[in-house]
Structure 1
Amino acid sequence: MSTNRLISLMSEMAIFAKVVETGSFSETARQLGVTPSAISRSVTRLEQALGARLLQRTTRKLRLSESGKEVYARCVDMVNAAQAAMLVSSQFTPEPQGLVRVSVPKAVGRFVIHPHISDFLAKYPKVDVQLQLNDRYVDLIDDQVDLVIRITDHPPPGLMGRRLINIDHMICATPQYLARNGEPLHPHDLKAHNCIFLGEEPSDARWKFHQDSNRVSVSVHGRYAVNHTGARLDAVLNHLGIGSLPYFTAKEALQQGLIVQVLPKWIFRTNYCGAAWVLYPPTRHLPAKLSAFINFMAERLG
């Protein structure tokens, strides 16, 4: 095949890879802003040029043929090489610029990352930020984001990352609530209190503490459970009970004396403790806009 012919088919190869990724002509068309018939014609042209049927079409789904599997792997390599070329070129941009798309868990995004965004935008006037707050698992490729922040002990295999901040939890209450109901001196004393917890899983109502070699697990009860840290903070501030909160949510109220830590000599552990890591695909050439965002947040949170 001539070079000219090969170049003309590169767009068809990229579209074919996208069709396999989405599993649908219509979804590919929606993402690329064209019609499903245009996507179908593009795949047909590629099949005719290669002299092979790449996709087996049914009324419900698309399935790769044997030759299609091999061609798809090479098309993915081509798309990845093009993306790598774009990343290399961004290294020579004199200053960071472009859109940074970041996915963050809701509470971490609202209380940890969002407060620093205005300063970041002021420092880098050519960089825009799209902050996506959600608690579901986000895939960098499938969800089309540049960076993802996760609470984890270590970056998962296949990704690079930088540790931003430890996520520690505590239990808190207002001085007024404790004056009215008494202050727990031992984790087991929490059984007599109205406790405000996450409420998504049965284990959320089983609070775990340790102090040196002592390990204590307590089943707590309360009239209000809510899966948002800001709402739990509001409930605590309204004297509803003793609430479980990440330190980053409780910090300002603690400093102002509006709430106090309960059982401060005990370490409170939840399934959501760990560290917030900013993660990205492994590359030797991280775009300037991403390096700027990562370094800025690491410095601020460090």
Structure 2
Amino acid sequence: MDRLAAMEIFIRVVDTGSFSAAARHLDIGQPAVSKAVAQLEEWLGVRLMLRSTRALTPTEAGASFYQRARRAIEETDEAVVAARGTASALSGKLRVSAAVCFARLHIVPRLTEFLEQHPNLNVEMVLDDRNIDLVDEGVDLALRMGVLADSNMTARRIGEARRRVIGTRAYFERYGYPEAPADLLAHQAVIYTRDGGGEDWTFRKATAEVSVKLQGRVKITATEGVRAAVLSGIGLAVASEWAFTPELKSGAVISVMDDWLLPTIMLSAVYPTGRLASSKARQFAAFAEDCVSGSQPPSLE
């Protein structure tokens, strides 16, 4: 029995909650997964999993072994990277989850750089504005914005951007340039309805704090739609710099009320721990961090 491989299989079974899901993610047959776990239990002399018709759950010994096995896998992975060198050690497939608009604007255009650095690695981008289940979808790394829900995932902040009041110059020339939060009540706003958006915003300036409820006839669930609506002149939007970086640089849109501050938005690299892909995920996270650090629009102050 290849004990290291069996440990990785066991970790995947615990993560996914079933032999069949682990088999799909590892691209091996379900009998091979069952056999590996059984051999691991025989070698250890303890039962690791409680099997029922509805679910698989680790025993007390299994939960303890899972934590230590996970650390052992990570340390082995790091040892391989150190011995071979970073580029040559990264191979196989890496599945990365990210929001559609963010990835299209900031990651995909520079993806060639990452692929050239790691010629033996294939990257699969899973683009969705929803926060998908990383284990269920077999994702190695997620690039997520905003406040992260408590979970068993490992997260690291890799970027931060300002939220701004953004619109086209033609729109502001027609309807007026807002100078204070109260002025926004006279404007049509394009409202992003997912997490990180909404109608209610609190602006801060020095010691002043003003909350407003944006008025808008158009609500949209995807950032790409918000971009299209703003660029067509439907209204202004409270949006991240990242959502309009090219247009802020070119002047296709402008930012107003920049002396009033809104909550910033964080970008985090999130990935499940205890997988051989963790080194690949960390390398891609570093790449994504470089992408956003070089994509900020010029100072608008």
Q: TM-score range by the shorter chain?
A: 0.7 to 0.9
- 1:274: which partner in 2? 265
Distance between the aligned counterparts of 1:108 and 1:151, measured in 2?
10
How has the CA–CA distance of structure 1 residues 122 and 217 changed in structure 2, closer, same or farther, with 3 Å as cutoff?
Answer: same
The offset of 1:201, in angstroms, is: 6.3
Distance between the aligned counterparts of 1:118 and 1:8, measured in 2?
36
How has the CA–CA distance of structure 1 residues 77 and 112 changed in structure 2, closer, same or farther, with 3 Å as cutoff?
Answer: closer
Distance between the aligned counterparts of 1:143 and 1:17, measured in 2?
16
**What is the letter of the counterpart of residue 206 of structure 2?**
D
Aligned 8 A contact 2:194 2:221 in 1: yes
- 1:216: which partner in 2? 210
Aligned 8 A contact 1:100 1:290 in 2: no
Match 2:180 to one of 173, 176, 186? 186
- 2:48: which partner in 1? 54
How has the CA–CA distance of structure 1 residues 183 and 33 changed in structure 2, closer, same or farther, with 3 Å as cutoff?
Answer: closer
How has the CA–CA distance of structure 1 residues 192 and 87 changed in structure 2, closer, same or farther, with 3 Å as cutoff?
Answer: same
TM-score for both structures, normalised by structure 1: 0.73
The offset of 1:195, in angstroms, is: 1.2
TM-score for both structures, normalised by structure 2: 0.73
Aligned 8 A contact 1:169 1:245 in 2: yes
- 1:64: which partner in 2? 58
How has the CA–CA distance of structure 1 residues 90 and 264 changed in structure 2, closer, same or farther, with 3 Å as cutoff?
Answer: same
Q: Is residue 106 from structure 1 mapped to residue 100 from structure 2 by the alignment?
A: yes
Aligned 8 A contact 1:91 1:286 in 2: no
Give RMSD over aligned pairs.
4.2
Distance between the aligned counterparts of 1:214 and 1:43, measured in 2?
61
Match 2:229 to one of 230, 235, 245? 235
How has the CA–CA distance of structure 1 residues 183 and 275 changed in structure 2, closer, same or farther, with 3 Å as cutoff?
Answer: same
Structure 1 or 2, whichever has the larger Rg, is: 1
Distance between the aligned counterparts of 2:125 and 2:194, measured in 1?
24
Aligned 8 A contact 1:98 1:289 in 2: no
Match 1:42 to one of 21, 36, 41? 36
Distance between the aligned counterparts of 1:32 and 1:123, measured in 2?
25
- 2:299: which partner in 1? none
- 1:259: which partner in 2? 253
- 2:26: which partner in 1? 32
Q: Is residue 247 from structure 1 mapped to residue 241 from structure 2 by the alignment?
A: yes
Structure 1 unaligned spans of 5+: 1-6
Distance between the aligned counterparts of 1:87 and 1:32, measured in 2?
21
Q: Is residue 167 from structure 1 mapped to residue 161 from structure 2 by the alignment?
A: yes
Aligned 8 A contact 1:232 1:244 in 2: no
The offset of 1:220, in angstroms, is: 1.5
